[in-house]
Amino acid sequence: MCSQTRQQVRNPQKASASLWLRLIVGLVSVSLLAVGAASGALYVRFKAKNLQFREETLRNQAGVIVDYLKTVPEGPVELPRYVAEGFKTNNGRYAVVGRNGELLAASPGVAAPLAAIDPSHPQDYFVLQPDEEQQAYYGMSVRTLYADQPVFVQVAFHAGNIVFDSVLEEFVQDIAWIWIPFVVVLLIVNLVVARIGLAPLRMAANQAAAIGPGAVSTRLTENGLPRDVHALVTAVNRGLDRLEIAFEAQKRFIADAAHELRTPVAVLKAHVGILSKFEGHPELVDEISGLERLVNQLLDIARLDVLQVGADHVADLTVVATEVASHLGPAAINAGRSIEVLAPDEPVCIRGASDYLFRALRNIVENALRHTPVGTTVSIVVANPASISVIDRGPGVGPDQKHAIFGRFWQGGRDHNTGGAGLGLDIAARTVVAHGGFISVDDAPDGGAIFTMQFESLRAAARPTHSPSREMAL
């Protein structure tokens, strides 16, 4: 008897970074565009305000002289000392120009109008560039009356002496560094919001990853999802419904067809067996045997789809190996080959279904018998922890074939030259996986291949009442 232990099977989940990569690139691009647009709008706004403030500053400075001229009677123009000192302190210039272009008053060093006079404009703005290495002068001409005669008041200041220009420059320098942490914080916030928003999709993806041939009835959860995600999940579930119907129909067809073929194949094999020998008789027997094996494998596939390993299902791998050797022994002897079973004295027990394990091991041993040379032995080795290895002396399996050999309908290398539909190793692999184990193929030390089925073992509570031979050769 074999004791039972609880078995856990973990299914790893695959994660893809492509969605997050696209999301990060998109968020960074949007953030940079937003910062660029905000910076551009701020710059344009500041430039407009700067121009407006500059004009108001020049207008106010010119207005001081205009207001003074309105209070002065006829005679030479001589501005108050405080006005002249104010222009000198701020590195400014002024000029009072008559209607004919004559200079009525000016700051020291000015011997001509600061700019050409346009009598048709009551005020006019101008820019003076004395030297490429010097700052430009921003100026204004304002038309007014002096002694009932039109005159023009001109004022000009360095760009750096206009208060708003310097304030703008300092402000831009002070806030420029803020954009970097702003973009970082904005990106982090966007990623957090996006992660929260994508949580329903991740949940649906995890559920979808668990759907497989053994769980075709599983559906994605539709409760509590956002409207857009709910529509997607609903569409996926409707598609899974249609796939399940088609999948079940295909399984029923395979099972029914295989079941219906068993009887005529058995009758055909019996009739051929009692016929007298004729030319091509051995080849016909081989073809019928291959057909019988294919039908049995189709039935095995149909049974695997409904395999459920319960907690009370316990199998002794030694017993399974002995039964397979006994079942295939006569055929092996007729083909000039032999089978041996090497097993420990104590039971090697696992949680599993003996009949399914029998069919899986039978497929591997049949495959080994077809490829091991005449006169050699196929070894079935049972070992602790729970494993069964099948060793043949055939050509072996190439390194590039070891991952593909367990695929369904695989016809490369070993099976291609000796017939078969490529189902046997697929059935064995699916059976092992259904029992929570894994299967592998390696090179035998003396040539050939070693197929190993590894399981989670159960402790032997007591020796079985009927203990089979632990070493048997057929």
- Burial bucket for residue 82 (CB in 10 Å: 0-12, 13-18, 19+): exposed
Mean pLDDT, rounded, of the chain = 76
Residue 201: pLDDT above 80?
no
Q: How far is CA 79 from the centre of its chain?
A: 79
Q: Rounded mean pLDDT of 350-356? A: 84
Least confidently predicted of 99-113, 186-200, 380-394, 429-443: 186-200
Query: d(Cα 328, Cα 325) in Å, to the nearest integer?
Result: 5
Select the highest-mean-pLDDT range: 74-78, 337-341, 397-401, 435-439: 337-341
Q: What's the confidence (pLDDT) of residue 379?
A: 92
CB 424 within 8 A of CB 366: yes
Residue 15: pLDDT above 50?
no
Query: d(Cα 270, Cα 268) in Å, to the nearest integer?
Result: 5
| 16 band by pLDDT with thresholds 50, 70 and 90 | very low
| 213 band by pLDDT with thresholds 50, 70 and 90 | low
CB neighbourhood size of 401 (10 A): 14
Q: How far is CA 180 from the centre of its chain?
A: 28
- Burial bucket for residue 275 (CB in 10 Å: 0-12, 13-18, 19+): exposed
Query: d(Cα 361, Cα 339) in Å, to the nearest integer?
Result: 13
Residue 352: pLDDT above 90?
no
Query: Who's near 291: CB < 8 A, 6+ residues apart?
Result: 265
Amino acid letter, residue 187: L
Least confidently predicted of 2-6, 157-161, 170-174: 2-6
Give pLDDT tens digits for 369-425: 888 889 899 999 999 888 899 999 888 887 777 777 776 656 554 444 444 556 778
Structure tokens at 250: 């295909």
Query: d(Cα 158, Cα 77) in Å, to the nearest integer?
Result: 25
Residue entry with tokens 């200079």: 103
% of the chain with per-residue pLDDT over 90: 7
Least confidently predicted of 28-42, 60-74, 113-127, 253-267: 253-267
| 325 band by pLDDT with thresholds 50, 70 and 90 | very high
Structure tokens at 471: 């070493």
Domains, the chain: 21-177 (3.30.450), 211-306 (1.10.287.130), 310-473 (3.30.565.10)
| 324 band by pLDDT with thresholds 50, 70 and 90 | very high
Q: What's the confidence (pLDDT) of residue 310?
A: 62
Q: Rounded mean pLDDT of 99-113? A: 85
Select the highest-mean-pLDDT range: 81-90, 315-324, 425-434: 315-324
CB 101 within 8 A of CB 113: yes
Residue 473: pLDDT above 60?
no
CB 20 within 8 A of CB 26: no
% of the chain with per-residue pLDDT over 70: 75
Paired with 129 in beta bridges are: none
Paired sense of beta strands 377-383 and 338-342, if any: parallel
Higher pLDDT, 463 or 253: 253
Nearest to 471 by CA among 340, 284, 306: 340
Query: d(Cα 113, Cα 410) in Å, to the nearest integer?
Result: 99
Least confidently predicted of 101-105, 120-124, 302-306, 424-428: 302-306
pTM above threshold 0.95: no
CB 157 within 8 A of CB 58: yes
Q: What's the confidence (pLDDT) of residue 416?
A: 44
